[in-house]
Structure 1
Amino acid sequence: MSIYFWGLLISLAVYLLVGNYAGRKVKGIDDYYVAGRRAPTLLIVGTLVASFLSTNAFLAETGFAYDGYAFLMLALVAVNTSGYVIGALFFGRFVRRSRSLTIPEFFARRFDSRAMQVLAGSTTIIGLTAYLLAVTQGGSILISDVVGIPYPAALILVWLGYMVFTLYSGSRGVVLTDTIMFLLFTLVSLIALPYLFGENGSWHSTLEALATYEAKPGIVAWHGLTGEGAYWQSGSDALIWALILGVSWSLVLAVSPWQTSRYLMARNEHVVVRSACISGLVLAVLYVILMFGGAAINLTNPDIAPSERVMVWAGMNMMPTLLGTLLISGIMAAALSSCSTFLSLIGFSVSHDIMQTSNKDERKSLRTSRLIMFAAATISLLLAYFQPPAVMWITYFAGTLFASSWGPVALLCIWNRGITTPAALIGMLAGFIINIVAKLLDQNGVVSLPVYLDPFILGFVANLACLLIISRMTQPRAAALAYFDVLHRTPEEEFDPARLRQTLIWPVVVMVSGLAIAAGLITWYAIPYANAIGRDFHLLSGESLLSLGYGLSVFCVGLLAYWQVKHVYSRRHQPRNSPRHAEKASQ
């Protein structure tokens, strides 16, 4: 067996040992579902980033960069990473405040509706089963390539790895292993980048070689490959696609169950905001590394097929053996961490949101949850076996389901007191169904949707229209209005001045980093690219605007976080008619 195999085996053993340790700490439902609600910032950052990246980033999107769309992906990422901070500020901190066990339970409380919990739970199960399918396939492709065993055998190994661990340890184990894996693949990605430059030896020389690369002209242009044989005929079509998907995925990061459920584990609301700031910044830096690295591999081997195997090939052929082993183990870690997150949430939704097995007999509830999770894992294994691998496109399809079905409902239920239960039910269902139907009709050639009529947009607009129109025709329930008011009462302990000072550090770090990223991309991307293709540099070129936009998007979310944190958690910014102000005045 190769050293890469042993690296995977050792990492899996560590994963199971941590799961065993965490599983022994599980004493009840709160421990199993939300890790006892005591997770600090590092653990929340680890599980947010690890559950988001998975094999889609390290295999599928890196392969997309290799195919010719490295910097186009950055246009998408510039928009979607804002979802972390926007979601934490305008949805996530309220979810944490609710002290629910699952996000569907939060919707049930907000709208005083058991039907709302069942619907949100059902969409969670369907969407995350598709996402779990994609990540399982990605991990299986990795093991099949590295170990040299048939894909079905690799599929079973991956399935056993995440299934056994997740059943025993629940969310407590998931958050610990996610953080270990996050630290591993982040560190390895940073160290591995120079080796992906191959014989060119440096960032500048590699960029110049890619800028004039005749086999894939435009591979590092802001729009990527366009024209005959490319995904898009023009740069404008490519940009519209990136921006639409960026907005969609910003909503995914803001409200999706596998991201916002992490906030239920947070120690306090300040941890929610800090972890969101750090996670968005980490993703912004990591994607620059991954996308440029994926494109650079073309200069060493332009014939890797399918392109999803690019990073695995690079780890085994372009790096020192130990580093390559760590890289491949890190990719596998990202796959397993995401699988465990998705499987746990599927199991939680079936047992808690659909069947409502949680009761006073916590031991029985835990046993039932684990049995349901095993059944869900078995179904995902069968689907992954019969569905041909398509990691990136299945992931994008699954993610946008939540953007169109949950996005409007999640944000408006916090910020619009008049949204009614019938409106939320019909809106969520309409967004979900229209997205799926439009995607199926488009993929099967029944209709041909232009890029600006993405199924996400159709589902989102239908959802929003239902919310606004039906809310005008119906009345909110008294219990729902009362719960809305409760959600908007900031807990007294969150006004701790020491916590506030610590939290404000991170938006400042994000703002400074955003300016540094913009300056760095101008210096190391836009200017060298213009020189390489024999064009004068100017700030209005596509590459310059992408560089500035990427960094400034990071700066803007940092500024938003700073303003909101001071406004919400500083006593002197409280309105005069707030409950806290009235209490102080009476004293």
Structure 2
Amino acid sequence: MNLYAAVIAVIVLVLLTVSLARLGKVKTKADYLVAGRSLPAFVLVFTLLSSWIGSGSLLGGAENAYKHGFVALWQAGGGWAGLLLIYFIAPRARKFAQYTIPDLLETRYNQTARVLGVIAILLTYTAITSYQFIGGGDILHLIFPDVITPILGRYILAAFVIVFTAIAGMSSVAYMDLFIGLLATGTMCLALPVLIHRAGGWGAVHAALPASHFTVFDDLGFMKSLELFLPTCLLLLGNQSMYQKFFSAKSEKDARRAVVGWIIGTVILETVIVAIAVTGSALFPTGEVSKAPREILAYCGLHGFGDSSAPLRLLGALLMGAIFAKIISTANNWLFSPATNLVNDIYARYINPEASNKKILIVSRLMVVLLGLWALFQSLGTESVLKKALYAYTIYSAALTPVILAAFFWKRATAAAAVASIAVGTAVTVSWEWVAPHLPLALGERDAIFPALVASLICLFAVSRVTSAPRREQLEQLEKA
């Protein structure tokens, strides 16, 4: 157990060192929010990879794989499909070169779209941050079961994340992600074949589990699979955290190159995560982890290498440490992004437009702390990470992704339509839990993604057709991109 504690301690110290090392480079608003637009492709690859693959994959996706098998790749596959489309969006986003998605919404639509966009982002991003705290708390409890409860672990993880994120902003986040991405990718790829060998080989894994674990449809059905696929795909296409990374790129060429590396890394790492969880379900079909299957990856790190040689025990500790670091990394990204909205889209836009760089940096760090506390509060009332993830993804997918894509690719989309689309997509998702029980069973038993997305798209297209086309000046800045 001391080995696991030592690895976690070393990782925390490294992350703190990286954050402090970047602090001296943060002098202006642009330095804090978009790393001075200086990130090269190599750094971008790993910060994109680390921000995307967090507790949603490591806990929610792994839980799904433990229970259902490789059908869990539908959730990951939504991201892969989105990435292929992002290859064509990334250079245009870098040309636009603003700070946040609401900057884009106001430029293309109006101020109301900007404000509604901020609300949808706050709901989505703090929800996603909240279950990163759950994942980190679970890991700390597994390592220190007699000292740290899962709830206490959430408080500790929240403290780490708030401090790391507040120190140096995007620069801190990006360079921590470089270290974490390399550690996680290497460790998980090494751990998978070792765990398969300990299970008796792939044939033994296959024999120990139902045949449905090795199909892509049978266990969940096509519609349920789409309910995993669509929210992930649409969240990725409109993901503000991703666009901020493109705004932070050194050049359009770096942005496009980073997407290629991101695609390769994401396909490999998410497939490995699902394969480890499936192997874990063969190794540990009963016991503590069967009651909390979201912990399967960390459980494999803790118990899958325990009686092995010293190098393999170290690999198990590194696997646990890599998962812990990935959760911190993802929480940093998803916490930092909405803080930039409150600073750039509310404080600097409406409250204090003449604020100095020094004052903006102070307010930025305060927003990180306040939003971190809000995310912690949400985590205390959350039981299912997968359910929380799909809720958060759906808000963004229905409310923002359609109007973001329309901003780049559909000149006829109007400001009134964007406002209606964002408002309706958000409202349907947030209210679905209360509305669904009163609807016919065929509709009420479905997740919110289909009704929320359909309602949002109807508003976008129908209102655009009955309102005046956008003015030429609304389109010019994006056409240049």
TM over 0.5: yes
CA drift at 1:211: 3.4
Equivalent residue, structure 2, for 1:265: 248
Equivalent residue, structure 2, for 1:147: 144
State yes or no: 1:129 paired with 2:126: yes
After the TM superposition, which of the residue ranges 102-111 and 283-292 deviates more from structure 2?
A: 283-292
After the TM superposition, which of the residue ranges 449-458 and 121-130 deviates more from structure 2?
A: 449-458
Equivalent residue, structure 2, for 1:474: 467
Q: What is the DSSP-based 3-state SS (H/G/I as helix, E as strand, rest coil) of the residue aligned with 1:218?
A: helix
- Checking the alignment, whether the CA contact within 8 Å between 1:198 and 1:297 is kept in structure 2 is no
Deviations 1:108-155, CA, capped at 9 Å, x for gaps: 1112x2222111111111111111111111111111111221123212
Q: What is the DSSP-based 3-state SS (H/G/I as helix, E as strand, rest coil) of the residue aligned with 1:419?
A: coil
* Count of aligned residue pairs for this structure pair: 467
CA drift at 1:210: 3.6
* Candidates 316, 319, 332, aligned match of 1:327: 319
CA drift at 1:198: 4.3
User: In structure 1, what residue type is equivalent to 2:465?
Assistant: R
CA drift at 1:436: 2.2
Equivalent residue, structure 1, for 2:172: 173
What is the alpha-carbon distance in structure 2 between the residues aligned to residue 355 and residue 448 of structure 1? 45
What is the alpha-carbon distance in structure 1 between the residues aligned to residue 465 and residue 284 of structure 2? 60
Equivalent residue, structure 1, for 2:309: none
- Checking the alignment, whether the CA contact within 8 Å between 1:405 and 1:430 is kept in structure 2 is yes
Q: TM-score, normalised by structure 2?
A: 0.92
CA drift at 1:453: 5.2
What is the alpha-carbon distance in structure 2 between the residues aligned to residue 433 and residue 32 of structure 1? 32
Equivalent residue, structure 2, for 1:83: 82
Q: Taking structure 1 as reference, are residues 144 and 81 closer, same or farther at Cα in structure 2, changes over 3 Å only? A: same
Q: Taking structure 1 as reference, are residues 200 and 328 closer, same or farther at Cα in structure 2, changes over 3 Å only? A: closer
After the TM superposition, which of the residue ranges 361-370 and 252-261 deviates more from structure 2?
A: 252-261
* CA RMSD, 1 decimal: 2.1
User: In structure 2, what residue type is equivalent to 1:461?
Assistant: V
Equivalent residue, structure 1, for 2:104: 106
CA drift at 1:435: 2.1
- Checking the alignment, whether the CA contact within 8 Å between 1:18 and 1:173 is kept in structure 2 is yes
* % identity of equivalent residues: 21
- Checking the alignment, whether the CA contact within 8 Å between 2:301 and 2:316 is kept in structure 1 is yes
- Checking the alignment, whether the CA contact within 8 Å between 2:50 and 2:330 is kept in structure 1 is yes
Deviations 1:290-325, CA, capped at 9 Å, x for gaps: 212211123322112211121112112222221111
What is the alpha-carbon distance in structure 2 between the residues aligned to residue 453 and residue 317 of structure 1? 37
What is the alpha-carbon distance in structure 2 between the residues aligned to residue 299 and residue 83 of structure 1? 31
Equivalent residue, structure 2, for 1:409: 403
- Checking the alignment, whether the CA contact within 8 Å between 2:411 and 2:470 is kept in structure 1 is no
Q: What is the DSSP-based 3-state SS (H/G/I as helix, E as strand, rest coil) of the residue aligned with 1:49?
A: helix
User: In structure 1, what residue type is equivalent to 2:337?
Assistant: L
Q: How does 1:499-518 map to 2 (within 5 A)?
A: none
Rg comparison, structure with higher value: 1
Q: Taking structure 1 as reference, are residues 455 and 59 closer, same or farther at Cα in structure 2, changes over 3 Å only? A: closer
Q: Taking structure 1 as reference, are residues 453 and 308 closer, same or farther at Cα in structure 2, changes over 3 Å only? A: closer
User: In structure 2, what residue type is equivalent to 1:397?
Assistant: Y
* Candidates 335, 360, 380, aligned match of 1:343: 335
User: In structure 2, what residue type is equivalent to 1:63?
Assistant: E
Q: Flag structure 1 segments of 5+ consecutive residues without an equivalent.
A: 227-231, 233-237, 491-587
Q: Flag structure 2 segments of 5+ consecutive residues without an equivalent.
A: 306-311
* Candidates 344, 351, 366, aligned match of 1:352: 344
What is the alpha-carbon distance in structure 2 between the residues aligned to residue 312 and residue 13 of structure 1? 20
- Checking the alignment, whether the CA contact within 8 Å between 1:65 and 1:73 is kept in structure 2 is yes
Q: Taking structure 1 as reference, are residues 328 and 322 closer, same or farther at Cα in structure 2, changes over 3 Å only? A: same
What is the alpha-carbon distance in structure 2 between the residues aligned to residue 488 and residue 260 of structure 1? 17
- Checking the alignment, whether the CA contact within 8 Å between 1:359 and 1:365 is kept in structure 2 is no
What is the alpha-carbon distance in structure 1 between the residues aligned to residue 464 and residue 271 of structure 2? 43
Q: Taking structure 1 as reference, are residues 450 and 280 closer, same or farther at Cα in structure 2, changes over 3 Å only? A: farther
Equivalent residue, structure 2, for 1:383: 378
Q: TM-score, normalised by structure 1?
A: 0.76
- Checking the alignment, whether the CA contact within 8 Å between 1:407 and 1:460 is kept in structure 2 is no
Q: What is the DSSP-based 3-state SS (H/G/I as helix, E as strand, rest coil) of the residue aligned with 1:488?
A: helix
Equivalent residue, structure 1, for 2:302: 316
State yes or no: 1:362 paired with 2:357: yes
- Checking the alignment, whether the CA contact within 8 Å between 2:60 and 2:389 is kept in structure 1 is no
Equivalent residue, structure 1, for 2:259: 276
State yes or no: 1:57 paired with 2:57: yes
After the TM superposition, which of the residue ranges 170-179 and 389-398 deviates more from structure 2?
A: 389-398
- Checking the alignment, whether the CA contact within 8 Å between 2:438 and 2:444 is kept in structure 1 is no
Deviations 1:257-285, CA, capped at 9 Å, x for gaps: 12222211111222222222221222112
- Checking the alignment, whether the CA contact within 8 Å between 1:141 and 1:154 is kept in structure 2 is yes
Q: What is the DSSP-based 3-state SS (H/G/I as helix, E as strand, rest coil) of the residue aligned with 1:247?
A: helix
What is the alpha-carbon distance in structure 2 between the residues aligned to residue 361 and residue 187 of structure 1? 43
What is the alpha-carbon distance in structure 2 between the residues aligned to residue 179 and residue 343 of structure 1? 18
- Checking the alignment, whether the CA contact within 8 Å between 1:414 and 1:484 is kept in structure 2 is no
CA drift at 1:213: 3.0
Equivalent residue, structure 2, for 1:484: 475
Deviations 1:219-250, CA, capped at 9 Å, x for gaps: 223336x4xxxxx4xxxxx2322234313311
* Candidates 427, 432, 436, aligned match of 1:438: 432
User: In structure 2, what residue type is equivalent to 1:31?
Assistant: D
User: In structure 2, what residue type is equivalent to 1:329?
Assistant: G
User: In structure 1, what residue type is equivalent to 2:328?
Assistant: L
What is the alpha-carbon distance in structure 2 between the residues aligned to residue 404 and residue 103 of structure 1? 15
CA drift at 1:455: 1.6
What is the alpha-carbon distance in structure 2 between the residues aligned to residue 55 and residue 325 of structure 1? 18
Deviations 1:90-117, CA, capped at 9 Å, x for gaps: 4x43332222111111111112x22221
Equivalent residue, structure 2, for 1:462: 455
User: In structure 2, what residue type is equivalent to 1:51?
Assistant: S
- Checking the alignment, whether the CA contact within 8 Å between 2:230 and 2:449 is kept in structure 1 is no
What is the alpha-carbon distance in structure 2 between the residues aligned to residue 217 and residue 346 of structure 1? 43
CA drift at 1:360: 4.9
What is the alpha-carbon distance in structure 2 between the residues aligned to residue 14 and residue 429 of structure 1? 42
CA drift at 1:484: 1.8
CA drift at 1:395: 1.2
- Checking the alignment, whether the CA contact within 8 Å between 1:88 and 1:273 is kept in structure 2 is yes
